[in-house]
Amino acid sequence: MPNMKNSPMGYFADTDPDQDVVVSTRVRLSRNLANHPFPGKMTSQEEAAVQGEIIGAFSEAPSIGVFSAIQLEKLSPTERRILVERGIISENYSIEPFRCVVIRDDERCFAVMNEIEHLRLFSICGGYNPKRLHEELSLIDRGLEEKLDFAAAIDVGYIETKLENMGTGLRLSALMHLPGLMMTGYAEKTLRHALEMGLIAKGFFSETEQSRGAFYILANQYSFASSEDGLISFFSTEINQIIRLERIAREEIMNKRRINLEDRVYRSCAILKHCRKVTMEEALEHLGNLRLGISVGWVSGLTVSEVSAVLNRVGAAHVQFLTGNQDDPADSGELEAVRAKLIHEIMERAEF
């Protein structure tokens, strides 16, 4: 289970020149095993067999790192919800019986079995660095392939359950903070262009395009490509273009609507520093403004990485975990009070 108390920074401790716009990057590889039905078509015995093969491969390939298999049924409902909030598993997967995830000891790499494909490998970092994440996952992928027979064909590449994952099985995604584009009214046009170029976009903590706090997740829509490196190059070209446009938009606001931006940033700083209760929606909005204030140099004493780490922990399950009571759900008022205290811990260092 991800360590909630002893490693609050986690992968956000990474430093990256683009972290003012890109909060985090995630890379995923999907694989199916040959000679087994696709997930959803398997019996419980077949699911257990696939899960056993994959867990065995992780334990028999020490060169890929130290991984631990965690049976979800041994976790509390709150701990399972934390995995959902972090995007490691889906809501449905969290409540299904006999499910298991494999987590590397540094909590930056995960594996999920028998959800949509037999195996999904994830790696995540703070800021923008898909190439490094892909290199890490490729080493793990090759190590597992020595033990497992992945389903593949010469003419199509890796065989996946969903058509859009066929070929490389590679999914790249970036959590982006785009307040400049939102405030200037260019966000819709920018995201529409990204869609036309083959990306998909959705709001943070949302399955729709509606954003909270100007945070958006962008990902490649299709995995079919001549090579994984070519897909990474295409994705990076589009993400770098959005980064450039966001910085131009921020500069435009600084020059033409500075007082509006100052009011937005300093108002949020005051609320975060003095609030006694805060909803998740409010936290996302105000932490996003705090993050922007740090990026433009108006707030010191904190880094955008520290704010990003808190953003990763404001969900209801994360806050419930911090109450120390994982069995009896706290009421919304208690969660809002605990969330406010969590934010106060970093705001004590903020100078504005």
Q: Model-level pTM? A: 0.92
Mean pLDDT across the stretch 265-293? 96
Residue % of the chain over a pLDDT of 70: 95
Q: What is the pLDDT of residue 6?
A: 44
Mean pLDDT across the stretch 323-350? 88
DSSP 38: P
181, two tokens: 């584009």
Mean pLDDT across the stretch 158-180? 94
| Res 63 pLDDT > 80 | no
Estimate to the nearest angstrom the gap between the alpha carbon of 235 and the chain centroid. 16
296, two tokens: 């433009």
Q: How many other C-beta atoms can be found within 10 angstroms of the C-beta atom of residue 138?
A: 16
Q: What is the pLDDT of residue 32?
A: 96
Domain residues of the chain, as ranges? Answer: 10-252, 257-347
φ, ψ for residue 21, nearest 5 deg? -110, -40
The pLDDT tens digits of the residues spanning 186-237 come to 999 999 999 999 999 988 765 555 577 899 999 999 998 878 999 999 999 9
| Burial (CB count within 10 angstroms: exposed 0-12, middle 13-18, buried 19+), residue 257 | middle
Q: Determine the CATH number of domain 10-252.
A: 3.30.590.10
Chain-wide mean pLDDT for the chain? 91
Domains 10-252 and 257-347 share a fold: no
The pLDDT tens digits of the residues spanning 14-27 come to 778 999 999 999 99
* Helix (H/G/I), strand (E/B), else coil: 293: helix
Q: What is the pLDDT of residue 206?
A: 55
Q: Determine the CATH number of domain 257-347.
A: 1.20.120
Euclidean distance between CA atoms 187 and 201, whole angstroms:
11
Q: What is the pLDDT of residue 11?
A: 74
Helix-helix angle 258-274:332-347, to 10 degrees: 110
The pLDDT tens digits of the residues spanning 281-324 come to 999 999 999 999 999 999 999 999 999 999 989 999 999 998 87
Residues 6+ apart with CB under 8 A from 110: 88, 101, 102, 103, 104, 121, 122, 123
